[in-house]
Amino acid sequence: MRFFSLVLLSCVLSTGAAYCEPVFKSDTISSPEGFGKPHGSSMVELENGDILATWFSAGKETDSGARIFGAEWKKKTGAWTKPRVIIPSDYSKSVGNTALFKDDDKVIWLFFAAVAVGGWSGSMVDYVTSPDDGKTWSEGETLVWKLGNLPRNPPIKIADHTMLVPLFTDFMYEINMVGSYTARLKYSKGKILEKTIARLDDYDAIQPTVVKLPDGRILLLARDKSDRFIRRSYSTDNGSSWASATIT
């Protein structure tokens, strides 16, 4: 079961000067036998240069047997470790999408969908943290208590000890109760000190991703509910608010 592609950067010495060229490397990670197709993957670099990957896997989405797995790409061997369970099947009714972030304290945050009832409309956003590069994990906590909310893409750093987490609502998708928003989190040593939510005024934008631009603005790109477009929005106040979205 193909999972994701990994891009590495190598430096080559030529004519006395060093230059870097991207090297594309595609690897395959399989979930353990019987867990079906992996979904909702994320990656983060560890302190020693290894890479931690996470994903959820089940027979079908929101199955009660869904688990979140993790595996490491070892820099020394160039190989992936055997997948291990990070979030077990009895954590909640089901689990979903993962999003990883390493903070200024070198703590890894794993945000994921925790389904309390039904399907994605019954999901909340939970998280666990690891102070030791994924060797151990904290007990799960809830970031967003309202039903129908999920992560999809990783947070970014926007200031010292401050991250911006892209999230979306997928509550009763068929009647358009959807939308994108961000959670700006100030933290210290794996604990959230302050949370600020900022929503897009666009109910067709889902599964957002964010990036900070050189001019200081933050760009948000989101999938359009119709699957025909990408929607775009900007924040000029470090994620406190978002401009009206436009179609790219």
Closest residue by Cα to residue 4 from 43, 46, 62, 49: 43
Q: Average per-residue pLDDT in the chain?
A: 89
Q: What is the rounded distance in angstroms from the CA atom of residue 54 to the CA atom of residue 44?
A: 9
**pLDDT tens digits for range 185-201:** 999 999 999 999 999 98
Q: What is the pTM of this model?
A: 0.90
* pLDDT, average across residues 56-73: 91
Residue 175's pLDDT band (boundaries 50, 70, 90)?
low
Contacts 24+ apart (CB under 8 A), 151-154: 151/97, 151/98, 151/99, 151/111, 151/112, 151/113, 151/125, 152/40, 152/97, 152/99, 152/207, 152/208, 152/209, 153/99, 153/207, 153/208, 153/209, 153/210, 154/42, 154/44, 154/99, 154/100, 154/101
220 pLDDT above the threshold of 80: yes
Strand partners, 85: 69
Instruction: Characterise 174 by phi-psi region: left (phi > 0), alpha (psi -120 to 50), beta (else).
Output: alpha
What is the band of 176 on the pLDDT scale with cuts at 50, 70, 90?
low
137 Cβ partners below 8 Å, 6+ apart?
86, 110, 128, 129, 130
Report phi then psi at 244, rounded to 5: -55, 135
Q: Half-sphere exposure of 214 toward its Cβ, with a 13 Å CA cutoff?
A: 0
Mind listing the pLDDT tens digit for each residue in 96-152? 999 999 999 999 999 999 999 999 999 999 999 999 999 999 999 999 999 999 999
